[in-house]
Structure 1
Amino acid sequence: MEFQYELTEEDVVAFNVYHVKNSNLGRKSLRWQRVVSPLLFLLFAFFLSVSTELETGPLFVVFGLTAILWAIYYPKYFYWHVTRQVRKALKEGKNDGLVGSHVLKMNKQGLTDISSNGESKMTREAVKQFKEDVGHFYLYNSAVSAVIIPKRDVDAEAFRKFVNNWLGH
């Protein structure tokens, strides 16, 4: 079976955000930073109150509010930062094989991704996971990389059914 699609920088950003949101490491990192930083704020307030003449109440109110705001808004900042870093990385180098037109050929032997940069082949066994979000399908070939297929360019239901059969699920 053959699928043609156009991959944009937005699709690459969407994959990276999806991956961070759904990987154990990304979730642990977010949870760690969301909890530990507010505790450090409160610890800092305690040390300030002990080592200076400042009143304890106002210090804990200010640093407590900062800790609460951090815990609430940090996830938005975290994902914004991931998006920004991916966009920056995409702007730094040539992305000829990544963004642009793709043809994905899938058969019993494996899959071939054809782009302006050439061909990339992998066996069916090399596909570790098949995931999807609202706008994309992801054929993971390692813990951190995947073939990205935007749903806007394929019949989503037919593609999902084909890939599940192709993978033997």
Structure 2
Amino acid sequence: MEFNYNISEEAYLQFNDYYAKNSETVKKSLMIQRITVPIMYLVMAVFLSFVLDMPVLFLMIPFFILGVLWTVFYPAYFYRLIRRNARKMVREGKGEGILGDHTMIFTEEGLREISSTGEKMQSWSGIEKIGEDPSNFYLFNSGMSAYIVSKNKMDDVDGVRRLLHSKITKKV
């Protein structure tokens, strides 16, 4: 099975979004940041009440509100920051070989990717897991690296999905 497709900057950003929203490490980091900052706000309120000789409740209310706002709005900011940093990396030229025209060939032994920087062979056993969003398949060959396979020119997306799931034993 052979596919010709183009990986755009947007497809690369979609991969980064997918990775950030599905990585246990990233989710754990987000949770820690969502919890620790509001706790620091409350500790700061208690500390300032002693330093400024003000009632604790008087300072606790605005800091509590700040903590709630942080907890609610921080995840959107966090994911936007990841997307912005990925966009910066691509525009600085660090996406060479990732973006552009690609040919992906699925064989019985594995996959072969041809791009402007060369050709890569990967056995099916080297693909750790697969991921998918509405636009792309992600074939992870390491914890943080994946082949991005665009669905936009595929005639039989379900057939490709079945093939990938039959060849790759660990599924996300």
TM-score tier (shorter): over 0.9
- Alignment-mate amino acid for residue 122 of structure 2: M
Displacement, 1:74?
0.5
User: Deviations 1:89-120 (Å, cap 9, x if unpaired)?
Assistant: 11112534111111001112221110111111
User: Deviations 1:21-60 (Å, cap 9, x if unpaired)?
Assistant: 1111001000000011100011101100011133433311
Which residue of structure 2 lines up, in the alignment, with residue 19 of structure 1? 19
Pairing of 1:6-155 with structure 2 (within 5 A): 6-154=6-154, 155=156
Structure 1 stretch 53-62 or stretch 117-126: which is displaced more?
A: 53-62
Which residue of structure 2 lines up, in the alignment, with residue 156 of structure 1? 157
Work out whether residues 6 and 153 of structure 1, in 8 Å CA contact, stay in contact via their aligned partners in 2: no
Q: What CA RMSD, in Å, does the superposition of the two structures yield over aligned residues?
A: 1.5
Secondary structure of the residue aligned to 1:93 is: helix
Work out whether residues 129 and 168 of structure 2, in 8 Å CA contact, stay in contact via their aligned partners in 1: no
Structure 1 stretch 14-23 or stretch 92-101: which is displaced more?
A: 92-101
The answer for unaligned runs of 5 or more in structure 2 is none
Structure 1 stretch 52-61 or stretch 138-147: which is displaced more?
A: 52-61
Secondary structure of the residue aligned to 1:54 is: coil
Distance (Å, rounded) in 1 between the aligned partners of 2:149 and 2:112? 13
Displacement, 1:166?
3.2
Structure 1 stretch 137-146 or stretch 150-159: which is displaced more?
A: 150-159
TM-score by length of 2: 0.92
Displacement, 1:168?
6.1
> What is the number of equivalent residue pairs in this alignment?
169
User: Deviations 1:105-154 (Å, cap 9, x if unpaired)?
Assistant: 11122211101111111111101101112222111100111001122222
Which residue of structure 2 lines up, in the alignment, with residue 4 of structure 1? 4
Which residue of structure 2 lines up, in the alignment, with residue 165 of structure 1? 166
